[in-house]
A and B are shown apart, each in its own frame.
Chain A
Amino acid sequence: MDPGEGSSKTISSWREETIQLGNTVLLRLPTGDTRSVKVEKDSTVSLGRVGSFSSNELVGQPYGLTYEIVEKGLQVLPPHTLQEVEDTEATNELINDGEFVQPLTLEEIEALKKSGVHANEIIKKQIEMHANYSLKTEYSKEKYKKHLRYAKSFSTVEPTIHNVCEYWFNKDQSRIRDLRIDTLSQLLHLGNIRPGGRYIVVDDASGLVVAAILDRLGGDGRLLTICDVDSAPAYPILTHMNFKKDKVSAVMSSLNWATAEEDYISLAPSAEPPSGQFKSERQKQRLSKRKLVLDSLSDTRSELFSGEFDGLIVASEYEPFSIVEKLSAYLGGSASIVVQSPHAQILADLQSKMRSSSQYLGPMVTESWLRRYQVLPGRTHPFMNMTGSGGFLLHAIKVYDDPSASSVLAFRQPKSKKAKVPGDPLPVDEFPSASGDAHSSSLNESREAASNEPSTKHDTDAPMA
């Protein structure tokens, strides 16, 4: 065994290990739907048809368990496992869908439930009444049993960024700008998000990007967000992450598009007493509170303007080139720029604009693709439905241009790869601008100012490249 490293099990207390009072918890219901519930002291959580239970029951529980609701209390249920079921001779040959699908009608079941009969009894009754149960294949019997078994149960879902993203994507994907989990994961990697890093983020995706980055930072690093409201931005998704509030405010600060301007002058009244002296204790308190706000604003602004950030991450409804132009000034050399959009056109335009500037290296647009499979013995196949698109990403690297080294004209090459070794100096006069292809190749040249080679060919094996 490895006695040395990592013998202690305490990991960062950034996110709670167990469910606490005040947490917002995701519950997965038997239907597959996920419900968001706030765990408040001594209250009742109602899950509709599944039942209701006392919220205190969840406190201190680890995530991921499945519970059956028994008289407002919770009992841990065995986890869903794949059932190894051998197929029998039974087929669905003699089974037709008909009126006698369910031996007990819904009304009868409700009546039984009201009369206090336990669910198990009802099910037993139902199956007894089912003459053709033996005609079913083992698999569909299993499906039937499991289906019934878990009808009054639910599972808690750990608020990992994966689960939270999936929950919001299924709930309302437009509110998170179609940012599917695979795209979000790529965004975090392309943005080189690491503990201790300093990032500028523009998040109009309900705070999903902010939540993901805060989660990865684990309380160490800096996150400066720029928003379009004049109060503190509402990032509703942060509630689902259950971060500790004081820890978040130590890592994250926000500016808006006005306060992020270098020539912005606050119209807010001064925090100094007009007479030079505080007239009352109340005034003193009020003004010192105001001073705190103004100081913090001024600190955040100077932090932005002093620059050298490690990355710029954008998922915004605003015109992306204006954002990139404005904020890339505050990035350090070799910093990552990642822009997400649900629309390829937006990023195509952005890429075209960025290629004409020599401070962005290798802008590249990618689309992510994700397919989930049902895995069951003998019945493994992709799910019938898949999400259409998880959005597009543009990634580029901020670089410092050196006009003397980079004399754009000196390193132009023709579009044809055979004509010259890429990178060779080629006087502009030699460029065959009169050829029939002049139009498109001169276009290429100006776009490729920052690169040694026209990027008409991409290495699809290495998407980063």
Chain B
Amino acid sequence: MRTSPFAALSSLFATTDEQAMWRVQTQEDAAAFAQLVRRWEQPIQRLCARMLGDVHRGEDLAQETFARIFARRKNYEPGGKFSSYLWRIALNLCYDELRRLRRRVTISFEDETDDNASGIHEHADTQLGPDGQAVAGEQAALVRDALLKLPENYRAVLVLRHYEDLKFREIADVLEIPEGTVKSRMAEALTQLSRLLAPVFAEEAKSNSRRATPGKERLLI
């Protein structure tokens, strides 16, 4: 598969997201919508997967996000960035889904346990099933669990900045809050995560060093 310099050059002048969305809005252009989905499907899937701690649910939510974008295409205001609009809708769907899950967890656990803050976390663990395949390794699962213990608004900021590499200014635009608030949420998220992860990773490091001493196999891996 070869990509000629001309093809690369012409792709530089490809339709912007805003132009594509404008076509979807005014002409119901299916090709333009397909282009948007191609461009944004994976980032939105990643966002949803990290917000919910479940890759498959993330994929479903990403699909729902695009369905909603299309269904409400007339509501899109062309003034702002399309990507901010898209992230916002996906995040709102994530919040709805988390709320729904929390309700379900509360109902199913209310006779057995207290209503604790880590309800989602437990639920996510019990419901994961095939998600075990998606999370590579024990450490990944530990990080995922710690992230799920964060308040949702902190998690959203952390996922957008750390994993999706949005600038603080862009996140402020998505969440419609001041940039300073985004940064303070980020600081709080990292601090809470440090508290959650430090003992785990310290233990992990200790056991690794114990395991690594007898032979060289560990180093080779």
Tell whether A and B belong to one assembly: no
